[in-house]
Structure 1
């Protein structure tokens, strides 16, 4: 979405020629393939774990860290692999998003009218909020070492990441819709 916003704001006349169906397929298929490949590389070693504790996972879903707690195998390799894979998977997409928004903010700064700046920035603000919530919970959940972190905090962060972020996503984007704004104003009066 940041690339879409970048093209729409920084290259509006070339938008339709750059953002064609081929580009859209690459932008959606690339992250999907990378995500599944990385997840598969983590699942295969876990399949060889020996489990000697209870078979009850103290979590909302079968996540890596609660599964490691059940294992009596050495999980240090998987933890290191998770950190090694998570760094580039965080750095490249977030770096790409940051760079596109730097160009967007530079383009917004060049707009002379206040309403033009507000309108242009409002097209990006929803995406920035959703990306911040999404990446913020991912950083807390997967990039901060789990040792010393309570199970309750891990569950709360997981709940925020898996439930609240997707739940707020349509709410945040729909608040930009003028019809919804009007209905909310009528309800409050």
Structure 2
């Protein structure tokens, strides 16, 4: 239930952006001018820099990634895509720090922190492993198991080396005893 509920706001916002890209572009134009349009000559020709097309791309990302998240398909990747879309949208759409009117500032601040809360939900969704151990946990377990096997092997080698050394010492002792007896038997007393 959590993923579809989280995804709903993004799907809805993406559809609205696709229906009215020019209206959304007007609101985002100051941010887009600073972030993209002013640097258009440094970007490849294939990268769109006009605000309406950027809004359309953002809307499409929200609809596709939101739908994937709602359906539970690629939830971690779709959460990160939505997060990547949410950050510039929040900065462009709710710059409360630029508002002079206290009521407008308060309203923009509420919207900004609402989006910050959504970002937190997306981070949780991106980190969620659906009850399966994470890659880091599995790697740690493999490393611990390998360490245990190395210790067990080292212990086995030490035991076998100890037994072999003991056997060699016993045989050496017996041989030395026999050699001593043989020498004593040939030497005059």
TM bucket by the smaller chain? 0.3 to 0.5
TM-score normalized with structure 2 length = 0.32
TM-score normalized with structure 1 length = 0.32
Which structure shows the bigger proportion of residues in helix conformation?
Answer: 2
Whichever of the two has the greater Rg, that structure is 2
